[in-house]
Amino acid sequence: MKRTTLTALLMASSILGTAGIAIAQGKTLTIESWRNDDLAIWQEKLIPAFEAKNPGIKVTFAPSAPTEYNAALNAKLDAGSAGDLITCRPFDASLELFNKGQLADLTDLPGMENFSDVAKSAWTTDDGKATFCVPMASVIHGFIYNQDAFDQLGIKPPATEAEFFEMLEKIKADGNYIPMAMGTKDLWEAATMGYQNIGPNYWHGEEGRLALIKGEQKLTDPQWVEPFATLAKWKPYLGDGFEAQSYPDSQNLFTLGRAAIYPAGSWEISVFNTQADFKMGAFPPPVKQAGDTCYISDHNDIGIGLNAKSANADAAKTFLSWAASPEFATIYANALPGFFSLSSAPVKMEDPLAQEFVSWRETCKPTIRSTYQILSRGTPNLENETWVASANVINGTETPEAAAKKLQEGLDSWYKPAK
Amino acid sequence: MAVDIPHRRRTRWHIAVFLAPAVLVYTAVMILPLFGTLQLSLFTADDQSRVFAGLDNFRRLFFDPRWSATFWNALWNNTWFFIIHMLVQNPIGIALAAILSSPRLRFSAAYRTVIFVPTILSFVIVGFAFKLILSPLWGVAPNLLDLVGLKSLFTPWLGKEEYALTTLGLISVWQFVGIPMMLIYAALLSIPDEVVEAAECDGITGMAQFWKIKLPLILPSIGIISILTFVGNFNAFDLIYAAQGALAGPNYSTDILGTFLYRTFFGFQLQTGDPYMGSTIASMMFFIILAGVCVYLFVVQTRLRRYQF
Amino acid sequence: MSRATISLPRTVAAHAVLLTYTVIALFPVVVIIINSFKSRNAIFRTPLTPPTAETFDLIGYATVLNQGDFLLYFQNSFIVTVASLFFVLLFGAMAAFALAEYRFRGNTLMGLYLALGIMIPIRLGTVAILQLMVASGLVNTLTALILVYTAQGLPLAIFILSEFMKQVSDDLKNAGRIDGFSEYRIFFRLVLPLVRPAMATVAVFTMIPIWNDLWFPLILAPSEATKTITLGAQLFIGQYVTNWNAVLAALSLAILPVLVLYLIFSRQLIRGITSGAVK
């Protein structure tokens, strides 16, 4: 065996001896996560609440930076040194881990009944037979605005696209505020806060998304190209040098009160609440014509699963059942306003901005991001390519048509829709 | 030249003793894992099991239009990155060393110390610091240009396809110029006084002395620096990753082999890692660097006569 | 000694060039440090002015020191760097001596074999290395990092040191042999002191990437007890990405210890380089 040889060589060469500290075992559960922002909330609220109910089980929250999470997690899973509980990215990334046998099947986990099929869809096999992560939260896209600035300029949140651009023009003409805080440097802002935010109104949410998966629609069809065309019109309303403006730059631009509107995901709410000293409001992506049905991106974003090789599977399942409970949902949704619980049990939220976002679920049809399910399984990866394309379109270095054509060609190169 | 004393015991155990610790640690922790990875380039995944694929992955990398476009783009960017270092970093390093080594220069120790400071900083710090300084929002760079009345020259360099890679190259030069400076400085100091004095007797001083006497003597050191730069640049990854992310934007204009490899091997966001194609890219990087090192060893080094102390 | 006197204009020009470059080298570091002492609004409004009585604010440092144990991180980084450096220099010099000094079958081959590691980033072997460490129970120990960094540093050390070892005078070594010195004594007593400048160079080359590495600490030793300072700072930047007070304070804290260490050792380093230059 190669590994034995390696180990033997290592032993022979290890001058420091083998004074390895064994990985702490027993009843300590380790959670792998990319949400390093949430460290304090886990340590101060969630873990104490769990440990109080389950004496004898200790929980450690061990996040890594979001950009390194996937690579580091995969390496640790392959080598068998990953934590007991794995925070799940939605759709294909986690499905891949399940197919490799690295995530355990949780279909029969007590507590799973608290979730609807839609909530579970992000962590369920294509045939719907097995669910492998407990859904934790979804995020909703929209626009957050500076209420003080709006009052000062006498403008109201727009309902239609025409009103939206009229409003931007007005803010720009006034000159006191940068109309919109968004940059293209980090690429994903352009795709996530831009394309996926406004897109569902064009491709009619689930209808278009499923048609794309079935191969009945193409990314070069008008309903998929138009969002790019609209994005291209955003350019004059972004701040100077937006090409080199990174995500934290955009956040700061808005929270320092220098920009009037922030194309947002609801996860921003908790950060903005602590940093902005002005009142904020939110509006959903504007529709094309007054009276059109509105669609919003209500995207399953985060779940939690069980490392199939965990030595503490029973304790971990106890934790997961708790994570599926309404108690967890309430603590989580209130500690992190903007991460909306996926639980079917009603969750009461205090934050007004979060309530505003979630109220759109009543009037608009929700959908998930178009590139996440099935379409990003191959290379070139549609989601990553959409980042690049959206940034190119806003930067003006590529036309909407050319960008859409490139995306479709990339998709065609490996994706054959089932007939 | 190595000395061989012929009438020694037949088994010279001390050679083994000298080599053993290095060879063992190196083999166990570096070579075996690395070759475990590189051999993957000959395999591919088929429903979770590994099957032998021969050279298919290489064929894909070169002849599938998508893969090959990305590969050539990364290779060209990498070459440009290397050219910037050769044209900017090494000449600046040599010039600084030459100035520093001039006799009776005051404060030279202080200069030497300070100029080396950027080299000791981590990529995390350098990447972040320059993102801030060049950020259009924060305004350090625009303000500075404003001071000298050149504000109109400011563009969001890191966000423009045509400037981003060159900007990153220059940041990397800023960080690493200390290394050629130190090496050349050491080489210049080791030139015997007699040589310099002889030159001065012949009336060769100043710039002429540097070009005619000293430069030829430090050529071997310049050779070593060039090959170290080459190897370092073709393995580079961290700075671009820290400043531009794994997608090396805008529009892949700063994608070099290291970022291409990282993205492919470990995956990124929704893209799952593909260890087989990743290993194929790694193997190509290995061959490219190997070729460069061979050129150095067999062509450059044999031409540079080694200066004997 | 009849040295041409250095003319005044040339001295001025030399200082001008060096001063310019000094400013360029220090500017980013200074910007980060002065802004870490300022309040949030002042950072954005006047990034280039030093903190004044009104804008002085230690909020960033307060956040950082409450959140992470930077002293422990620093200690971890220090142990890992020093231990790896010691093994790289010792093993590297020994192997380089064997390659430079003795003619034996497979010498060239061994040299090439040991140089292979310069050409491939060790990062590629991550999964296999991690499996190895898991199998030997070294995950989340500093030993794992020291082993990896020793292996990573050896090829370049051997490559550079053997170049220098070839230049050590044969007469000296042969004189030693005639006096009946063992090969080990020749190496440790005669050769090693002579290649001190090269060792200093190698030490710097080896130390920097080890101190600054992010990847292996993340994979092999991410636990709270074994975090290195670079990993600590990176996680911190990720966590407080919009809180620039905290980020700038964390960066300053990550810069300062290295800077102090470097200032202490740079004298030794330069002395090593210059004194060893045989005249």
pLDDT of residue A3: 45
C98-112 confidence digits (pLDDT tens)? 999 888 888 889 988
- The mean of the pLDDT values for chain C is 84
Asked whether residue A372 is domain-assigned, the answer is yes
pLDDT of residue C250: 84
Number of structural domains chain B divides into:
1
Assess whether C16 and C30 both reside in one domain: yes
Please give the torsion angle defined by the CA atoms of residues A359, A365, A369 and A370, in that order, rounded to the nearest 10 degrees: -170
* Contact across the interface for B247 and A245, Cβ inside 8 Å: no
Percent of chain A with pLDDT over 70: 93
SS3 per-residue string spanning chain A: CHHHHHHHHHHHHCCCCCCCCCCCCCCEEEEEECCHHHHHHHHHHHHHHHHHHCCCCEEEEEECCHHHHHHHHHHHHHHCCCCCEEEECCCHHHHHHHHCCCECCCCCCCCHHHECHHHHHHHECCCCCCECEEEEEEEEEEEEEEHHHHHHHCCCCCCEHHHHHHHHHHHHHHCCCEEECCCCCCCHHHHHHHHHHHCHHHHCCHHHHHHHHHCCCCCCCHHHHHHHHHHHCCHHHECCCHHHCCHHHHHHHHHCCCEEEEEEECCHHHHHHHHCCCCEEEECCCECCCCCCCEEEEEEEEEEEEECCCCCHHHHHHHHHHHCCHHHHHHHHHHCCCCEECECCCCCCCCHHHHHHHHHHHHCEEECCCCCCCCCCCCCCHHHHHHHHHHHHHHCCCCHHHHHHHHHHHHHCCCCCCC
**Would you say how long chain B is, in residues?**
309
The position carrying tokens 């970093």 is B89
Percent of chain B with pLDDT over 70: 93
Domain span at residue B76 reads 54-303
Please tell me if residue A55 touches chain C, with a CB cutoff of 8 Å.
Answer: no
Asked whether residue C213 is domain-assigned, the answer is yes
Assess whether A272 and A315 both reside in one domain: no
A249-283 confidence digits (pLDDT tens)? 899 899 989 999 999 999 999 889 988 889 999 99
Closest CA to B252 of A380, A333, C3, A74: A380
* Contact across the interface for B29 and A376, Cβ inside 8 Å: no
**How many whole angstroms separate alpha carbon B255 and alpha carbon B258?**
8
Arithmetic mean of pLDDT, B218-230: 87
Asked whether residue A332 is domain-assigned, the answer is yes
Q: Does residue B178 have a pLDDT over 60?
A: yes
**How many whole angstroms separate alpha carbon A269 and alpha carbon A357?**
10
Contacts of A392 in chain B (CB under 8 A): 250-251
pLDDT of residue B219: 86
Confidence of residue C55 (pLDDT cuts 50, 70, 90): confident
Q: Does residue A24 have a pLDDT over 50?
A: no
Asked whether residue B25 is domain-assigned, the answer is no
Largest CA distance in chain C: 75
Contacts of A256 in chain C (CB under 8 A): 41, 44
Arithmetic mean of pLDDT, A78-91: 89
Q: Which residues 61-80 of C have a C-beta within 8 angstroms of B?
A: none
Confidence of residue B304 (pLDDT cuts 50, 70, 90): low
> Which among C38, C57, C76 is the end of a domain?
C57
Assess whether C82 and C45 both reside in one domain: no
Q: Which residue of A has its CA nearest to B160?
A: A243
Assess whether C162 and C198 both reside in one domain: yes
**How many whole angstroms separate alpha carbon B267 and alpha carbon B264?**
5
Is the model more confident about C164 or about A415? A415
Arithmetic mean of pLDDT, A334-338: 90
Q: Which residue of A has its CA nearest to B246?
A: A67
Assess whether C136 and C106 both reside in one domain: yes
pLDDT of residue A187: 93
Q: Does residue C1 have a pLDDT over 60?
A: no
Asked whether residue C116 is domain-assigned, the answer is yes
* Contact across the interface for C132 and A11, Cβ inside 8 Å: no
Please tell me if residue C274 touches chain A, with a CB cutoff of 8 Å.
Answer: no
pLDDT of residue C272: 60
Asked whether residue C20 is domain-assigned, the answer is yes
Q: By three-state DSSP, how is residue B45 classified?
A: strand
Please tell me if residue C98 touches chain B, with a CB cutoff of 8 Å.
Answer: yes
Asked whether residue C3 is domain-assigned, the answer is no
**How many whole angstroms separate alpha carbon C163 and alpha carbon B186?**
14
Assess whether A57 and A77 both reside in one domain: yes
Is the model more confident about B36 or about C120? B36
- Pair of tokens at residue C78: 């220090």
Q: Which residue type, as a one-letter code, is found at position A236?
A: P
Q: Does residue B241 have a pLDDT over 50?
A: yes
Cβ contacts of A222 within 8 Å, gap of 6 or more? none
Q: Which residue of B has its CA nearest to C255?
A: B121
Confidence of residue A18 (pLDDT cuts 50, 70, 90): very low
**How many whole angstroms separate alpha carbon A283 and alpha carbon A357?**
8
If one counts every other C-beta atom within 10 angstroms of the C-beta of residue A56, the result is 9
Asked whether residue B309 is domain-assigned, the answer is no
Cβ contacts of B87 within 8 Å, gap of 6 or more? none
Please tell me if residue C182 touches chain B, with a CB cutoff of 8 Å.
Answer: yes
pLDDT of residue A419: 54
Arithmetic mean of pLDDT, A371-388: 90
Please tell me if residue B197 touches chain C, with a CB cutoff of 8 Å.
Answer: yes
Task: Report the number of secondary-structure helices (H) and strands (E) in chain C.
Answer: 14, 0
Assess whether C38 and C124 both reside in one domain: no
Closest CA to B36 of C19, C159, C120: C120
Q: Does residue B252 have a pLDDT over 70?
A: yes
Q: Does residue A36 have a pLDDT over 90?
A: no
Arithmetic mean of pLDDT, C78-97: 94
Assess whether A56 and A110 both reside in one domain: yes
Confidence of residue B307 (pLDDT cuts 50, 70, 90): very low
Assess whether A110 and A195 both reside in one domain: no
* Contact across the interface for B118 and C25, Cβ inside 8 Å: yes
Confidence of residue A65 (pLDDT cuts 50, 70, 90): confident
Confidence of residue C167 (pLDDT cuts 50, 70, 90): confident
Please tell me if residue C109 touches chain A, with a CB cutoff of 8 Å.
Answer: no
Interface test with A, best of B26, B132, B137, B151 (most A CBs within 10 A): B137
CATH number for the domain harbouring residue B142: 1.10.3720.10
If one counts every other C-beta atom within 10 angstroms of the C-beta of residue A406, the result is 18
Assess whether C48 and C178 both reside in one domain: no
Confidence of residue C6 (pLDDT cuts 50, 70, 90): low
CATH number for the domain harbouring residue A392: 3.40.190.10
Q: What is the DSSP string of C193-232?
A: HHTHHHHHHHHHHHHHHHHH--HHHHHH--STTT--HHHH
Closest CA to B42 of B283, B235, B290: B283
pLDDT of residue A166: 95
Asked whether residue C176 is domain-assigned, the answer is yes
Q: Does residue A135 have a pLDDT over 90?
A: yes
Task: Report the number of secondary-structure helices (H) and strands (E) in chain B.
Answer: 17, 4
Q: By three-state DSSP, how is residue C49 classified?
A: coil
Assess whether C77 and C53 both reside in one domain: no
Number of structural domains chain C divides into:
2
Number of structural domains chain A divides into:
2
Q: Does residue C278 have a pLDDT over 80?
A: no
Domain span at residue A144 reads 140-298+367-412
Q: Does residue B177 have a pLDDT over 90?
A: yes
Q: Does residue B47 have a pLDDT over 80?
A: no
Assess whether C32 and C111 both reside in one domain: no
Alpha-carbon separation of residue A43 from A25, A49, A56, B260 (angstroms): 20, 10, 17, 37
The position carrying tokens 């389950």 is A54
pLDDT of residue C271: 64
Q: Does residue A2 have a pLDDT over 50?
A: no
Please tell me if residue B268 touches chain A, with a CB cutoff of 8 Å.
Answer: yes
Assess whether C45 and C115 both reside in one domain: no
Assess whether A312 and A281 both reside in one domain: no
Arithmetic mean of pLDDT, A100-123: 92
Q: Does residue A19 have a pLDDT over 70?
A: no
* Contact across the interface for C24 and B129, Cβ inside 8 Å: no
Please tell me if residue C187 touches chain B, with a CB cutoff of 8 Å.
Answer: yes
Asked whether residue A178 is domain-assigned, the answer is yes
B193-210 confidence digits (pLDDT tens)? 888 888 888 888 778 888
Assess whether A171 and A294 both reside in one domain: yes
CA distance C62 to chain B (A): 20
Assess whether C50 and C77 both reside in one domain: no
- The mean of the pLDDT values for chain A is 89
Asked whether residue C187 is domain-assigned, the answer is yes
Assess whether C102 and C213 both reside in one domain: yes
* Contact across the interface for B138 and C44, Cβ inside 8 Å: yes
Domain span at residue C86 reads 63-276
Are B169 and B85 in contact by the 8 Å Cβ rule? The answer is: yes
Q: Does residue A377 have a pLDDT over 50?
A: yes
Asked whether residue C2 is domain-assigned, the answer is no
- Of A157-166, A188-197, B11-20, B186-195, which range is least confident? B186-195
Q: Does residue A10 have a pLDDT over 60?
A: no
pLDDT of residue C5: 52
Q: Does residue B3 have a pLDDT over 70?
A: no
Q: Which long-range contacts (CB under 8 A, 24 or more apart) does B98-107 make?
A: B98/B184, B98/B188, B98/B210, B98/B214, B99/C14, B99/C17, B99/C18, B100/B181, B100/B185, B100/C18, B101/B185, B101/B188, B101/B189, B102/C6, B102/C14, B103/C3, B103/C6, B104/C6, B105/C11, B105/C14, B107/C15, B107/C18
C199-252 confidence digits (pLDDT tens)? 877 887 788 888 888 889 988 887 778 888 888 887 777 777 777 888 888 888
Q: Does residue A162 have a pLDDT over 70?
A: yes
- ipTM confidence: 0.83
Alpha-carbon separation of residue A170 from A33, A163, A198 (angstroms): 43, 10, 21
